[in-house]
Amino acid sequence: MLKEEIKKFFKGEVEDSEDILETYSHDASLFVVKPKLVVFPKDASDIENLVKFVSDQKGVDSRLSITIRAAGSCMSGGPLGESIIVDLMRHMNHIGEINRDGTIVEPGVYYRDFEPKTLEKGLILPCYTASKNLNAIGGMIGNNCAGEKTLRYGKMENFVLESKVIFSDGREYEIKPLSREELETKMNQGDFEGNTYKKLFELIESNKQKINEAKPKVSKNSAGYFLWNVVDPERNEGFFDLNKLIVGSQGTLGLVTEAKIKLVPVESKSKLFVIFMRDLTHLADLVNEVLPTTPESVETYDDATMKLAFRFFPEMLRTMKAKNFFKLLLSFIPEAFMMLRGGIPKLIVLVEYAGKSEQEINQKMQNLENKIKHFGFVTRQTKSEEESNKYWTIRRESFSLLRKHVHGSRTAPFIDDVVVEPKHMPEFLPKMRKILDSYKLVYTIAGHAGNGNFHIIPLMDMRNRDNVRVIREVGEKIYNLVAEYGGSITGEHNDGIVRTPYLNKMYSKEILDLFQETKTIFDPQNIFNPGKKVNGSMEYLESHLALE
């Protein structure tokens, strides 16, 4: 029996009760995939021994595999698998000494536990997501996460300095940037690690031009394997950095057991400049005017989100937990009058500025107001952090409100993370909404306008089996539209079950074949998280939808 065999060498817990298997059949995605077993490793050596065991047993049972899981907040089905789930949250959740130039952290650490410790030192990991109260460091690495501050600081790939990763030979390796000389030494080792480096370097060098041409022309991307990031010919010390490939690979190439994370200083103060747009005609022009002013972030939410906030206004106010409830209530009066006079804006744009003093921030906001005056938009400069928070709450909480109050339906993240260059947004967004509206979907749109990245979350009654067809058709049409504008089908949430079958919308067969070769180099027996990044299918996607 599999459980008993694993318990012979495994120090952590090995569980297969129906309750456990049911819990681990789900994440935040649309899917249900029931595993055979869930294990909770005490440390990296437990995972090493498990990988060796599965490798040895593959000839007996080809269905054996390992899917690594952190907080289970993934919207793509990334941490779901049919064989062995490895949950890192119970034991592998240690944080080292907080250090700007490299903090050691294990993947089972909740970000909500990590951030307070970094803030005590005036530091932060700035690529945190909107779901930062739910997710863990391991998932942030696996998905190459991003969020509202990505415009200024970039994605998770910029913040993993080094890592420890268990390869498919069952050994843990230290992964760090290598110089040309160090890479040459590594490739000449003649062992599994050395051969992995050698084969990958040869693959990249032999296909350099087509790999570079395949890199999506957008500022955020989590689709496919990031082969274009690994080699930097402009640098010697960081000439070859395997971390750039491991980050975003969803546990399909190796299992991360530890990471050295770079942090940045926290700006002491921040405020929002809010822009209310009646239509999207000048959206790209606006974004192009805003970006040179170096904001922390440029976020948006749509009229559907604003309607939702006012529809459930008392609950939204309670969420804000303001010190002065009456003052907060009064602060919404300008928005209420504006909407009574001219209706709800099509898009609300939040431009965040940060600095060391209020005077510095106020000057930045005034400069922006002068710069965009010619558009004739209604704008508002927030006066305090509390006032800024009311807009952030609408941006962040609308999804939860929608989920709570629409009965018989559930959130259906299947086209939830598209990216196009900001210059294409005025054309792209109406076309996308036309597709969604033609299927009479109820949905909200929010996003990172500075990156052209939008989150579309429909609500669907998944007991209605016709929604299988709707998901397939809408996915096909939306991703065709994204491809038409040269965008990415996922800027943050990664491929998982939900997008792996659509990677051919972004990448040629040649590039998809290189992704498959990459997977084979690292994981020749297909032990790690099968069906994600490569070898996904529409049949598997549709057959594992949670129709309930």
Question: What is the C-alpha separation between 35 and 386, in angstroms, rounded?
Answer: 45
pLDDT tens for 259-290 read 999 999 998 788 999 999 988 888 889 998 99
Task: Quick: pLDDT tens for 351-401.
Answer: 999 988 889 999 999 999 999 999 999 899 988 777 787 787 777 666 666
| Global confidence as pTM | 0.93
CATH number of 103-265: 3.30.465.10
Q: What is the pLDDT of residue 57?
A: 97
User: Across residues 75-86, what is the average pLDDT?
Assistant: 98
CA distances 403 to 250, 400, 413, 457, Å, are 27, 5, 12, 10
Region class of 535: left (phi > 0), else alpha (psi between -120 and 50), else beta: left
Contact 527, 54 (CB under 8 A): yes
* pLDDT number for residue 333: 65
CATH number of 2-87: 3.30.43.10
Query: CA 213, 219, 223, 224 torsion: positive or negative?
Result: positive
pLDDT tops 80 at residue 448: yes
CATH fold for the domain made of 267-403: Alpha-Beta Plaits (3.30.70)
Residue 494: predicted pLDDT: 98
Structure tokens at 309: 């906030």
Type and span of the H or E element at 200: helix 192-206
- Residue 237's identity, in one-letter code, is E
The Cα angle at residue 12 between residues 8 and 13, in degrees rounded to 5: 90
How far, in Å, are 159, 224, 472, 482, 489 from residue 486 at the CA level? 27, 15, 21, 6, 10
The secondary structure element, H or E, covering residue 86 is: strand 84-87
Q: How far is CA 325 from CA 271, 316, 319, 334, 496, in A?
A: 20, 12, 11, 17, 42
pLDDT tier for residue 203 given thresholds of 50, 70 and 90: very high
Structure tokens at 60: 């007996």
Q: 299-356, pLDDT tens digit by residue?
A: 998 887 777 776 766 666 666 555 555 555 566 666 666 666 667 888 899 999 998 8
∠ CA 162-166-169, nearest 5°, is 140
Tokens describing residue 140 = 């942030």
The string of DSSP letters for 247-288 reads TTSTTSS-EEEEEEE--EEPPSEEEEEEEEESSSTTHHHHHH
For 13, the enclosing helix (H) or strand (E) is strand 13-15
Task: Take residue 138 and report the two structure tokens written for it.
Answer: 């391991």
Residues 484-518 have pLDDT tens digits of 999 999 999 999 999 999 999 999 999 999 999 99
Class of residue 438 by CB neighbours under 10 A (exposed 0-12, middle 13-18, buried 19+): exposed
- For 48-76, the pLDDT digits (tens) are 999 999 999 999 999 999 999 999 999 99
Q: 103-265: same fold as 2-87?
A: no
Tell me the pLDDT tens digit for each residue of 100-149.
Answer: 999 999 999 999 999 999 999 999 999 999 888 899 999 999 999 999 89
d(CA 341, CA 357): 35
Q: What pLDDT was estimated at residue 407?
A: 67
CA distance linking residue 257 with residue 315, whole number of Å? 40
Distance, in Å, from the CA atom of 488 to the CA atom of 485, rounded to the nearest integer, reads 9
CB 40 within 8 A of CB 12: yes
Q: What are the structural domain ranges in the chain?
A: 2-87, 103-265, 267-403, 496-543
Name the band, by pLDDT with cuts 50, 70 and 90, for residue 188. very high
Distance in angstroms (rounded) separating the CA atoms of residues 496 and 78:
4
